[in-house]
């Protein structure tokens, strides 16, 4: 009994309030701290590999497969991981120096991570660019490729930093550098410096020259982009960047840098099994923008692309056969791009006529800058029509005209060397006359043209001050991919589509990492298509539905182009309405044909990779590219219905006079006041005129009755009917005069 009394007294003496306060403190501090430590353990340290595995580590990579839209294999990024270890001491010193110079200049000074040049940059890239890849030292790159998974996450980055510091405590710098050189991916199945040397130069790493070592050192950051097999020009630029870094870090002097930078890039041809190679490496470069190189090279991805291998192989076959026919005309190369305008899907991409024929065969013309010639004209006219400055019936005086420019006046001429007098816009665009196109650009203004081109997704035209009025004749360089996107605006009722090459990306367990979702997407392109749902096409309009209809109708009007190209040219696809435009640069270096229906677009280029001109007499607008385009388009459309552009309710049709473009009228007896034809207009613009027609006294030659030229003798004043625009004057009832008189401008 005494025991219980004593116990009760002790309990009464306890300060309950104090105990409760201590308990709350425990809950508020110790428990969260314990929870945080548990979280950190599982977030970072659970299953964290040991750097001791680096020396004996052998990865088990899985091939990444790239397929066409129907599941046909195009390429395995690699089949086997080829790796032949080498000792650092057996390699020329400049191999290590080149790698350190471009990848980690402070390698011998940091302890695994570089706070100043690395971590701070990585934090900046993470915040500003949402890119978790930047800021890695050589040690971190070794850890990432050998011990960690390749996903870009903060968790992996923290593990990478911890393991890099840990590894630096276990190994010497030279050991880490040696492991890096034996581990890193140099492209395809080549892992390590030894296999990379065999792949690109056909010899051992110990035999590498300085310039070759610099080229290989630049590859790991983006093996496809910098590959000398697929992008030789970019590879040379990257190599020279490495040499520049070596000079800056005092591994060589300026004389040596210049000497090595001047050397050509010479590699052995790739030995790979691949279909649609230009397209495959285009896709691989897109993947490298989204995923780590390691994930692409080792992650077992399954990539389903937009390409249709049947169309691709047919395009390759046609291009090769036709280029061989043009060999005597100094035409050595060509390129083809086939797309579906409504979705932007690339159905075929042939970057050159033979990928494996020469070192330059790997050069992808479809993504390179070339002058488009007259193929750019539809955009110029579309801008004028959309601003309601002109109509398809607007008359341009195709006359000798000089425009003020620096350092001398600009005086354009037509392809055929002839001036055609009064020409309505429909026929000026259809027959691709140059003088009216230049006048159209003068009306639009170069600034407006460049600004509007960006709405067509053309980004190559940047500073308007760089260009003159020759821009409408192809005086500015664009990519074929950009032209295809721009022309899709005409096909898509005003909405351009950026190109897309990938439908689906899955990881090694089938989880979808990316999926192309488009309301208009239909996988089977061989199935005849009806009109797509244009309302579902995303993006902003670059032009109105009315303008896109008018341009498309002009470009499919065989009568509008007959004067220049004839009525039975290669621009005609029998029983199909196809809008098409040619383009040839004045220097005959580039020859184009690009045409489309509402469902398919094909662009073709022919020329020479080195920029040398073609035969000036035999590569006109309907030779060279046009026969290739015709055969490919016939193949694509053979089982497709004949689809015409959709005419909006706001388009009206009127009879217009053949000579002036004015609306035809009828007298009391119902007879028209002029010889006329039918034309379409945006409602409300049918009365818009660009030329004046009147009778007034003008100087004419007494002997020929033609308009007198300035300074010409034997002239007299006669009352004549004349047509006049802001740039030229044309006499209607004079004797035939193919060169109307310029108006001072």
3-state SS assignment for residue 577:
coil
Higher pLDDT residue, 672 or 556? 556
- Position 714 confidence tier, pLDDT thresholds 50, 70, 90: confident
Q: Round to whole Å and give the CA distance between 229 and 245.
A: 23
| Residue 433: HSE in the Cβ half-sphere, 13 Å Cα cutoff | 27
What's the pLDDT at 439? 94
- Position 29 confidence tier, pLDDT thresholds 50, 70, 90: low
Exposure string of 703-735, with b = 16+ CB inside 10 Å and e = fewer, is eebbbbeeeeeebeebebebbbbebbbbbeebe
Lowest-confidence segment of 259-268, 474-483, 723-732 by average pLDDT: 723-732
Q: What is the CATH number of domain 74-279?
A: 1.10.3810.10
Residue pair 370/590 in contact by the 8 Å Cβ criterion: yes
**For the chain, what is the total number of helices (H) and then of strands (E)?**
23, 22
CATH 3.40.190.10 for the 315-392+422-637 domain, yes or no: no
Residue pair 604/625 in contact by the 8 Å Cβ criterion: yes
Q: Is the dihedral of CA 116, 122, 124, 125 positive or negative?
A: positive
Got the DSSP string for 259-303?
HHHTS----PPP----SSHHHHHHHHHHHHHHS-HHHHHHB--EE
Cα→Cα distances 258→216, 218, 261, 596, Å: 18, 18, 5, 48
What's the pLDDT at 165? 82
Residue pair 229/208 in contact by the 8 Å Cβ criterion: no
Alpha-carbon dihedral 461, 464, 469, 475, rounded to 10 degrees: -30
- Position 525 confidence tier, pLDDT thresholds 50, 70, 90: confident
Q: Round to whole Å and give the CA distance between 177 and 174.
A: 5
Cα→Cα distances 352→230, 363, 477, 740, Å: 12, 7, 18, 44
What's the pLDDT at 3? 59
pLDDT tens string 396-405:
999 888 888 7
3-state SS assignment for residue 605:
strand
Whole-prediction pTM value? 0.71
What's the pLDDT at 126? 47
Cα→Cα distances 491→315, 532, 593, Å: 22, 11, 16
- Position 595 confidence tier, pLDDT thresholds 50, 70, 90: very high
What φ, ψ does residue 254 adopt, rounded to 5°?
-65, -35
Alpha-carbon dihedral 553, 557, 563, 566, rounded to 10 degrees: 140
- Position 131 confidence tier, pLDDT thresholds 50, 70, 90: very low
3-state SS assignment for residue 250:
coil
DSSP state letter for 225: T
What's the pLDDT at 158? 78
Question: Minimal CA–CA distance to 570: which of 611, 631, 612, 501?
Answer: 631
* Joined tokens for residue 8: 């009760």
Question: Minimal CA–CA distance to 306: which of 502, 480, 525, 499?
Answer: 502
Cα→Cα distances 665→3, 423, 603, 662, 722, Å: 127, 20, 42, 9, 21
The pLDDT of 128-146, averaged and rounded, is 65
- Position 130 confidence tier, pLDDT thresholds 50, 70, 90: very low
3-state SS assignment for residue 332:
coil
Residue 470 has pLDDT above 80, yes or no: yes
- Position 59 confidence tier, pLDDT thresholds 50, 70, 90: very low
Cβ neighbors of 396 (< 8 A, separation 6 or more) are: 422, 423, 424, 425, 428, 433, 435, 436, 439, 440, 690, 725
Cβ neighbors of 164 (< 8 A, separation 6 or more) are: 112, 113, 137, 139, 140, 143
* Joined tokens for residue 559: 């009568």
Residue 338 has pLDDT above 70, yes or no: yes
Higher pLDDT residue, 332 or 120? 332
3-state SS assignment for residue 422:
strand
10 Å CB burial of residue 228 (0-12, 13-18, 19+) is buried
10 Å CB burial of residue 342 (0-12, 13-18, 19+) is buried
Lowest-confidence segment of 269-273, 350-354, 651-655 by average pLDDT: 269-273
Residue 475 has pLDDT above 80, yes or no: yes
Higher pLDDT residue, 16 or 325? 325
* Joined tokens for residue 193: 């410096």
Higher pLDDT residue, 453 or 734? 453
- Position 58 confidence tier, pLDDT thresholds 50, 70, 90: very low
Residue 327 has pLDDT above 90, yes or no: no
Q: Round to whole Å and give the CA distance between 584 and 582.
A: 7
- Position 23 confidence tier, pLDDT thresholds 50, 70, 90: low
10 Å CB burial of residue 209 (0-12, 13-18, 19+) is middle
Q: Round to whole Å and give the CA distance between 213 and 206.
A: 10
Q: Round to whole Å and give the CA distance between 745 and 741.
A: 12
pLDDT tens string 271-317:
767 899 999 999 999 998 888 887 887 778 899 999 999 999 999 99
Residue 176 has pLDDT above 60, yes or no: yes
């Amino acid at each position: 009994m005494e025991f219980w009394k004593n116990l009760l007294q002790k309990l009464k003496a306890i300060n309950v309030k104090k105990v409760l306060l201590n308990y709350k403190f425990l809950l508020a501090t110790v428990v969260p701290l314990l929870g945080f430590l548990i979280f950190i353990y599982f977030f970072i340290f659970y299953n964290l590999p040991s750097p001791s595995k680096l020396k004996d580590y052998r990865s088990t990579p899985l091939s990444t497969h790239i397929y066409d839209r129907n599941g046909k294999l195009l390429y395995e990024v690699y089949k086997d991981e080829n790796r032949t270890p080498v000792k650092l001491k057996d390699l020329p010193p400049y191999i290590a120096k080149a790698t350190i110079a471009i990848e980690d200049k402070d390698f011998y000074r940091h302890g695994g991570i570089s706070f100043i040049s690395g971590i701070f940059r990585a934090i900046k890239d993470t915040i500003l660019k949402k890119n978790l890849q930047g800021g890695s030292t050589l040690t971190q790159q070794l850890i990432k490729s050998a011990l960690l998974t390749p996903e870009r996450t903060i968790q992996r980055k923290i593990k990478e930093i911890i393991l890099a510091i840990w590894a630096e405590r276990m190994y010497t710098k030279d050991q880490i550098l040696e492991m890096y050189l034996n581990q890193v991916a140099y492209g395809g199945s080549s892992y390590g410096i030894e296999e990379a040397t065999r792949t690109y130069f056909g010899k051992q790493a110990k035999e590498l020259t300085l310039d070759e070592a610099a080229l290989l050192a630049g590859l790991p950051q983006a093996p496809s982009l910098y590959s000398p097999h697929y992008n030789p020009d970019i590879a040379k630029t990257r190599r020279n960047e490495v040499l520049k870094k070596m000079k800056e870090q005092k591994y060589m002097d300026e004389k040596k840098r210049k000497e090595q930078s001047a050397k050509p890039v010479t590699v052995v041809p790739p030995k790979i099994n691949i279909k649609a190679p230009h397209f495959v490496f285009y896709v691989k470069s897109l993947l490298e923008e989204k995923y780590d190189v390691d994930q692409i090279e080792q992650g077992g991805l399954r990539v389903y692309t937009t390409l249709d291998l049947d169309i691709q192989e047919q395009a390759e076959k046609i291009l090769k056969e036709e280029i061989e026919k043009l060999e005597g005309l100094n035409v050595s190369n060509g390129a083809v791009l086939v797309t579906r305008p409504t979705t932007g899907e690339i159905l075929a991409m042939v970057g050159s006529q033979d990928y494996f024929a020469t070192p330059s065969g790997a050069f992808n013309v479809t993504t390179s800058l070339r002058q488009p010639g007259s193929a750019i004209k539809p955009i110029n006219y579309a801008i004028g029509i959309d601003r309601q400055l002109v109509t398809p019936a607007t008359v341009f005086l195709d006359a000798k005209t000089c425009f003020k420019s620096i350092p001398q006046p600009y005086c354009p001429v037509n392809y055929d060397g002839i001036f055609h007098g009064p020409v309505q816009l429909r026929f000026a665009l259809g027959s691709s006359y140059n003088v009216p196109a230049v006048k159209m650009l003068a009306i639009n203004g170069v600034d407006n043209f460049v600004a509007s081109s960006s709405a067509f997704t053309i980004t190559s035209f940047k500073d308007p001050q760089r260009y003159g009025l020759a821009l409408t004749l192809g005086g500015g360089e664009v990519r074929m991919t950009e032209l295809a996107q721009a022309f899709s605006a005409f096909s898509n009722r005003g909405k351009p589509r950026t190109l897309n090459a990938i439908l689906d990306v899955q990881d090694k367990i089938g989880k979808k990492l990316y999926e192309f979702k488009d309301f208009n997407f239909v996988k089977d392109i061989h199935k005849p298509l009806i009109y797509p749902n244009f309302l579902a096409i995303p993006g902003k309009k670059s032009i109105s539905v009315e303008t896109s209809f008018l341009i498309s109708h002009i470009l499919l009007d065989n009568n509008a182009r007959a004067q220049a190209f004839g009525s039975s040219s290669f621009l005609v696809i029998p029983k199909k309405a196809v809008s098409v435009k040619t383009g040839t640069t004045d220097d005959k270096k580039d020859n184009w044909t690009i045409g489309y229906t509402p469902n398919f677009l094909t662009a073709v280029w022919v020329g020479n990779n080195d920029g040398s001109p073609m035969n000036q007499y035999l590569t006109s607008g309907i030779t060279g590219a046009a026969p290739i385009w015709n055969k490919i388009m016939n193949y694509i459309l053979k089982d497709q219905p004949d689809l015409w552009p959709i005419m909006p309710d706001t388009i009206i049709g009127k009879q217009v006079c053949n000579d002036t473009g004015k609306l035809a009228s009828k007298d009391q007896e119902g007879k028209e006041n002029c010889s006329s034809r039918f034309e379409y207009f945006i409602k409300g613009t049918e009365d818009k005129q660009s030329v004046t027609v009147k009778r007034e006294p003008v100087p004419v030659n007494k002997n020929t009755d033609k308009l007198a030229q300035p300074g010409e003798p034997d002239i007299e004043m006669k009352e004549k009917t004349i047509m006049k625009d802001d740039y030229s004057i044309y006499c209607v009832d004079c004797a035939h005069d193919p060169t109307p008189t310029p108006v001072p401008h």
